Structure 1
């Protein structure tokens, strides 16, 4: 895989605890995962400030988490406990075996990420932050780092790697929808919405949806999971219930290609 940033999110360097010889970056990672546990399990009570200070609030949140997984609640985060924090991410990136075809692997990988509930966080008053965003975006995070293309390319990268293929032979590594749309035009692999409306059969499961704002401007992207009637079933990152291009997580959505201007980057030339 080209996108291996997630490996840096799975570990801390040493045990961290209140009053200990703590490492600020490790404490921030712990606090981030405490907040993500609350997002995955609403009402758990582990949401804390992400400030790198292992104070009483962080200690109490750790104890709550420890009780929730039935281990001694001493408030100490060892590397092994941190592995429990991050198991969702590890399983998202490593928990899928290759399927019969690359397209089937793309669908399986996308569903597996969705199942493990990737969310962004607000850190230092910056949205589009946290372990999942950094993993999709090569370590980058912050309000300006919209991560929908980072998510989509992670899925393609992971799926193709399962088959010994390099996804950068299909498209450039980028975080920009415009880059992929323009590249698709140059490769004659971008199916414009006008053609899709005439012949939806041109689109295949596993292709990449691009939401078009103007002729050469695309603002959001997704993996196409299915084509049903006038709609695409998608899995996409950095969206929400409104279909935003700057939402908070990974979701499955339905988008109507007759009511919205949706182009498709086809993978059929290569797979």
Structure 2
């Protein structure tokens, strides 16, 4: 894979514990982030805690609660084995078994596999668009200005293409910009404008990428198309929310009406 920054999110440099001599702030932030993410899927676990890089009594208690939830020894200490359980959702998303009949099905199934792991952004140091999932999709970058919808889309395309021994950068450049991909689509003749999409929806296929158009050369959001019906696309999108925002906080499955929204479509056919 070209986009392999996720690997850095799966390890810590040393055992971390309260007042530990070997504590590293970045490792503690990782631990606190995954404890908080675990609480989102397990709200009664008592693992949500502050994300400040300080392994104090609150973090220790959150670790104990995680260990209790996983039937582990309740030591309050995080070694690599325990940390691997914390970040298991990301490992499953990026390295889990995904199959499909052809690249398009692989793209869809890879997106759905990520969806199962509930990728979610965090607010760290008062900065939204932060946390391990954002860094994984965005090459280590995070913070309020780092909208991550295209980072998510390219991670999915890259992962699926790699399973077939293909390089997704033959289709589009590595970028976090919807505008760059939209412009590439225009240059290569791969971008179907929304008016054409409405007239010829049969030309859109699962695995293609929608780009939400603001103006003809300005796109504000993107996602993977997983199914096409008469009026709608079913999608998997990053950096969205229940309202369909282009700066939400999660990976979600959505339904978008392409007859009432300006959805241009970038075809992945040359990579197929």
Q: With the length of structure 2 as denominator, give the TM-score of the two structures.
A: 0.98
The separation in 2 between residues aligned to 1:152 and 1:72, in whole angstroms, is: 39
What's the secondary structure of 1:18's corresponding residue? Answer: coil
**1:123 matched to which residue of 2?**
124
Q: Distance in 2 between matches of 1:215 and 1:164?
A: 34
In the TM superposition, what is the alpha-carbon distance from 1:45 to its structure 2 partner?
Answer: 1.6
Instruction: Tell me, yes or no, if the aligned pair for 2:240 and 2:251 is still in contact at 8 Å.
Output: yes
Paired residues for 1:235-250 under 5 Å:
235-250=236-251
Instruction: Indicate conservation of the 8 Å contact 2:104/2:206, yes or no.
Output: yes
- SS in structure 1 of the partner of residue 269 of structure 2: coil
* Aligned positions, number: 271
Partner of 2:209: 208
Corresponding residue for 1:228?
A: 229
**Using the alignment, how far apart are the partners of 1:204 and 1:165 within structure 2?**
19
Gaps of 5+ in 2: none
Report the alpha carbon displacement of residue 238 of structure 1 after superposing the two structures with TM. Answer: 0.2
State the partner residue of 1:20. Answer: 20
The CA distance in 2 between the partners of 1:42 and 1:244, in whole Å, is 24
Write out the 4+ residue segments of structure 1 that deviate beyond 2 Å after TM superposition. 96-100
1:10 aligns with 2:10: yes
Contact 2:98/2:113 (8 A) holds in 1: no
217-226 or 90-99: which moved more? 90-99
Matched, 1:79 2:114: no
How far the C-alpha of 1:228 sits from its partner, in A, is 1.3
Q: Pairwise mapping of residues 29-48 of structure 1 onto structure 2 (< 5 A)? A: 29-48=30-49
Whole-Å separation in 1 of the counterparts to 2:97 and 2:155: 14
Q: Distance in 1 between matches of 2:90 and 2:242?
A: 23
The answer as to whether partners of 1:98 and 1:159 remain within 8 angstroms in 2 is no
Q: Is the 8 A contact 1:177 1:220 kept in 2?
A: yes
- The 10-residue stretch of structure 1 (203-212 or 20-29) with the greater mean CA deviation from structure 2: 20-29
Superposed, 1:1-271 pairs within 5 Å as: 1-21=1-21, 22-271=23-272
Query: Any idea what SS the aligned residue of 1:143 has?
Result: coil
CA–CA distance in structure 2, aligned partners of residues 268 and 107 of structure 1 = 14
Residue aligned with 1:269, SS: helix
3-state SS of 1:171 partner: coil
Could you say what the CA RMSD is over the residues aligned between the two structures, in angstroms? 0.8
CA distance in structure 2 between the aligned counterparts of 1:200 and 1:40, rounded to whole angstroms: 36
